[in-house]
């Protein structure tokens, strides 16, 4: 049932983008290529797990020992421990977090033929085709600690996370990025809402377009972030989605900007992560001065959107 929900979500957002005029119909073909592999993995897991269920149940002491040591230290030769080992090794898959899609037009792996040097920066820990890494951050407008990956509802929009690093280091890069977004040939301006002049001031997630929404995360304490000063106007419109990366995380205990560190992004210079409407990472790029960051996003969206973006040319 859980797999069926993910099947439906994968197909639904793609149909939505085609019918809304955002995407070319060719993206519908990615539904089978992405979800068929997951279905085959599920069937293989079910067959293996069902066979283990029919075997001798593990002793209580073995369950406790395996829980303490972890699957990597469970003795695979013991029949009862094999059940526990299989269960622990498959937890990520059965929870849905272990789903991994192969590279395609929506998931740009390090081997993608795109020429931009900012795509898939060194140190990046987000694997395209997998769910965004969980992180806790502080929302600037109200000081609430939130789960970053849950801040944007599943509303059919691409989520563009701008990890802005240190404001003093990225001020120009951030403003260059915003300025290039507003160019006539960018994905940002190409798909503006037809009713943009009457959009409510209270619209949090889609004031400009139903194609995308933005989150900006600074590697600073909340008290050091001033939206009107540090965030360019176009990104400041998403003021409810501006955050301070100031929550300590035991997985990166020595980092002062845990979300940046877990993503593998430079805590001074940051980066940009494009997440698909179903929550899977599609593209990771560096945040640099000039137009390269915005150009990379134009190139990404230009491979499947219905309009010509930036200087994107037709690709095979």
Residue 92 has pLDDT above 70, yes or no: yes
* DSSP 8-state assignment for residue 58: P
Cβ neighbours around 248 below 10 Å, total: 11
User: What was the pLDDT predicted at 67?
Assistant: 65
- Tell the burial category of 160 from Cβ atoms under 10 Å away from its Cβ (0-12, 13-18, 19+): buried
Least Cα distance to 281 among 134, 143, 139, 181 occurs for 134
Which H or E run contains 7?
helix 2-19
User: What was the pLDDT predicted at 316?
Assistant: 35
Q: What is the mean pLDDT of the segment spanning 286-300?
A: 96
Q: How far apart are alpha carbons 151 and 162 in whole angstroms? A: 14
Q: What is the mean pLDDT of the segment spanning 82-97?
A: 74
Beta bridge partners of 253: none
Residue-wise pLDDT for 241-250, tens only, equals 999 999 999 9
Compute CA 86 distance to the chain's CA centroid, rounded to the nearest angstrom: 28
Q: What is the mean pLDDT of the segment spanning 200-212?
A: 96
Confidence of residue 8 (pLDDT cuts 50, 70, 90): very high
Q: Could you give the strand order of the β-sheet that contains 158-165, starting from the edge strand earlier in sequence? A: 145-147, 136-139, 242-244, 212-218, 158-165, 271-275, 281-286
């Amino acid at each position: 049932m859980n797999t069926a929900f993910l099947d439906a979500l994968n197909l639904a957002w793609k149909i939505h983008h085609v019918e809304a005029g955002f995407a070319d119909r060719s993206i519908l073909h990615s539904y089978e290529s992405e979800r068929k592999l997951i279905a085959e993995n599920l069937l293989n897991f079910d067959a293996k797990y069902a066979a283990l269920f029919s075997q001798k149940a593990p002793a209580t002491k073995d369950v406790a020992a395996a829980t303490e040591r972890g699957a990597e230290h469970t003795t695979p030769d013991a029949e009862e421990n094999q059940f526990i080992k299989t269960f622990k090794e498959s937890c990520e898959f059965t929870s849905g977090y272990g789903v991994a899609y192969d590279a395609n037009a929506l998931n740009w792996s390090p081997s993608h033929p795109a020429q931009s040097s900012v795509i898939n920066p060194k140190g990046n820990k987000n694997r395209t085709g997998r769910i965004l890494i969980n992180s806790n951050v502080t929302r600037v407008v109200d000081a609430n600690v939130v789960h970053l990956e849950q801040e944007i509802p599943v509303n059919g929009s691409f989520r563009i996370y701008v990890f802005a690093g240190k404001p003093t280091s990225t001020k120009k890069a951030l403003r260059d990025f915003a300025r290039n977004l507003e160019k006539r040939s960018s994905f940002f301006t190409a798909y503006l809402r037809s009713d943009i002049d009457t959009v409510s001031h209270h619209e949090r997630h889609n004031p400009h377009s139903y194609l995308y929404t933005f989150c900006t995360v600074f590697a600073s304490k909340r008290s050091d972030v001033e939206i009107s000063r540090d965030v360019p106007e176009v990104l400041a419109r998403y003021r409810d989605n501006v955050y301070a990366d100031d929550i300590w995380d035991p997985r990166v205990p020595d980092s002062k900007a845990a979300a940046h560190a877990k993503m593998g992004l430079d805590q001074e210079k940051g980066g940009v992560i494009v997440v698909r409407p179903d929550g899977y990472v599609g593209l990771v790029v560096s945040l640099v001065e000039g137009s390269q960051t915005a150009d990379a996003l134009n190139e990404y969206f230009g491979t499947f959107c219905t309009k010509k973006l930036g200087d994107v040319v037709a690709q095979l």
